[in-house]
Amino acid sequence: MKRIWEWTGIDTIASREAEREAPGAGQVEIRIRSIGICGTDLHIMSGHAGFGEPPLPLGHELSGVVERLGAGVSGWQIGDRVCIDPLIGCGTCAECRAGNKHRCSAAGEIGLQFPGGWQEYLVVPAANLYRLPDSIGFDEATQAETLHCCLGGIDKLDIRLGQHAVVLGDGPTGLYYVQLLKAAGVSRVTLIGMQDSRLALGRRLGADAAVNLRQAEAGDRLPEAETQDIVIDAAGNEASIQLGIELLKRGGELLLFGLPGERIKVDVQTAVLKELRLLGSTNAPHVWPRVLDMMASGRVQVQPLITQRYRFDQLDQAIAFARDSSGEAVKIIVNNDEPREESR
Ligand SMILES: [Zn+2]
Ligand SMILES: [Zn+2]
């Protein structure tokens, strides 16, 4: 048996015992060690995401240890430390064959549409595992998932050394984008957000300036209009995207990464007249090895973003804190260092 946490209905979760599933051909059973709590989890739980059906264990930011191997699995051994790419494509369509399973119309994700890692044990395809370098701990490793989305966005931009960039949104993805832009050679990164503590963290992680939009003098401290080569929107709302369009130079690039919860209105006329390039970005299955390399080499830091840790049996408390802390939390991690004896 194993202990699992399930999303059970609008904003509710519950814990129960479940049968442990044996890994089938090509599959591996993972003992989950760390789980990142993500805004997407809260969004799904609210019932507004439009995907996932309760009851369902969520959890897509995952790391753990190989526990059992299914038939025909090679290259993995019991005890290997791994992180999990949650994205599963059909494997046969043109996009999947081209290595773009994130564009597969039949794709789904572990922890979004498929059972996720809010469990002591999870069976996943062996093809979705990445080996962790020794220097990356389990808690940090959960963030390879978030970081891979961000690095996929960076790859889409035409970044040149010495450019100026703005990151809109001071959540985890905004804080990762600050670090990636600096690593990519951008000379001045301005982080724009709503929470002083997160903005201060952004400064420590390399942002050259940080502006809190809630403060009266924010307007004076923003970069001038039409000065930025690159804007990354990691906030996903009408005001942030509109601000991005205003701040960009003519010919600049706007990376649309934050997901608006509804249809929004933006000033397309200005975008056309300024000849902006608007790019959408979600996942990037081919960048995982580079993400792990960036983490292992210290070019991207994850630890400073981890603000709270909970035990697996406190997952409901972790979710409640994520929902109620109004921005105090940056990244909450749930650990399961010691599974209970009876579940081994
Ligand atoms: Zn996430
Ligand atoms: Zn496909």
Return the CATH number at 66. Answer: 3.90.180.10
CA–centroid distance, 220 to ligand 1, in Å, is 33
Other Cβ atoms less than 10 A from the Cβ of 124: the count is: 23
CA–centroid distance, 94 to ligand 2, in Å, is 7
| pLDDT reading at 21 higher than 60 | yes
Residues 6+ apart with CB under 8 A from 230: 157, 159, 163, 164, 165, 166, 181, 186, 248, 252, 253, 255
**Does residue 296 belong to any structural domain of this protein?**
no
Torsion of CA 206, 209, 213, 216, to 10 degrees: 150
**Does residue 183 belong to any structural domain of this protein?**
yes
**92 alpha carbon, closest ligand:** 2
- pLDDT interval class at 147 (50, 70, 90): very high
Same domain, 70 and 184: no
How many percent of the chain have pLDDT more than 90? 92
CA–centroid distance, 213 to ligand 2, in Å, is 41
**Does residue 100 belong to any structural domain of this protein?**
yes
Same domain, 226 and 175: yes
Same domain, 30 and 125: yes
CA–centroid distance, 100 to ligand 2, in Å, is 8
Same domain, 157 and 256: yes
In whole angstroms, give the CA distance from residue 274 to residue 10: 43
| pLDDT reading at 262 higher than 90 | no
Taking alpha carbons only, the member of 106, 16, 7 closest to residue 53 is 7
CA–centroid distance, 33 to ligand 1, in Å, is 16
CA–centroid distance, 92 to ligand 2, in Å, is 5
**Does residue 79 belong to any structural domain of this protein?**
yes
Mean pLDDT of 244-268: 95
Give the total number of structural domains in the chain.
2
Residue 340's pLDDT is: 52
Same domain, 125 and 157: no
Same domain, 163 and 75: no
**Does residue 55 belong to any structural domain of this protein?**
yes
| pLDDT reading at 342 higher than 90 | no
Same domain, 272 and 317: no
**Does residue 294 belong to any structural domain of this protein?**
no
Pairing of strands 27-37, 331-335: antiparallel
Residue 326's pLDDT is: 73
Same domain, 249 and 338: no
pLDDT (tens digit per residue) in 57-112: 999 999 999 999 999 999 999 999 999 999 999 999 999 999 999 999 999 999 99
Do the beta carbons of residue 152 and residue 33 sit within 8 Å? no
Other Cβ atoms less than 10 A from the Cβ of 224: the count is: 8
Residue 286's pLDDT is: 95
Residue 343's pLDDT is: 44
Residue 146's pLDDT is: 98
**Does residue 295 belong to any structural domain of this protein?**
no
Same domain, 107 and 197: no
CA–centroid distance, 224 to ligand 1, in Å, is 32
- pLDDT interval class at 118 (50, 70, 90): very high
| pLDDT reading at 319 higher than 60 | yes
| pLDDT reading at 227 higher than 60 | yes
CA–centroid distance, 320 to ligand 1, in Å, is 17
Residue 339's pLDDT is: 55
In whole angstroms, give the CA distance from residue 293 to residue 157: 20
**Does residue 290 belong to any structural domain of this protein?**
no
| pLDDT reading at 344 higher than 70 | no
- On average, the pLDDT of the chain sits at 95
Residues 6+ apart with CB under 8 A from 322: 37, 41, 42, 329, 332
CA–centroid distance, 98 to ligand 2, in Å, is 9
Q: Where are the beta strands (DSSP E) in the chain?
A: 2-9, 12-18, 27-37, 61-69, 81-84, 87-88, 108-109, 121-125, 129-131, 164-168, 188-193, 209-212, 228-233, 248-256, 277-280, 306-311, 331-335
In whole angstroms, give the CA distance from residue 303 to residue 247: 31
| pLDDT reading at 158 higher than 50 | yes
Residue 18's pLDDT is: 97
- Identify the domain containing residue 254 by its residue range: 150-280
Residues 6+ apart with CB under 8 A from 62: 30, 32, 34, 35, 36, 83, 84, 86, 110, 111, 116, 117, 122, 142, 145
| pLDDT reading at 338 higher than 80 | no
CA–centroid distance, 284 to ligand 1, in Å, is 13
Element (H, E) at 199: helix 196-204
67-335-200 Cα angle (round to 5): 135
| pLDDT reading at 194 higher than 90 | yes
Mean pLDDT of 195-209: 97
Same domain, 176 and 215: yes
Taking alpha carbons only, the member of 59, 198, 31, 37 closest to residue 115 is 59
Same domain, 167 and 126: no
- Beta-bridge partner residues of 88: 108
Same domain, 47 and 126: yes
CATH of the domain at 209: 3.40.50.720
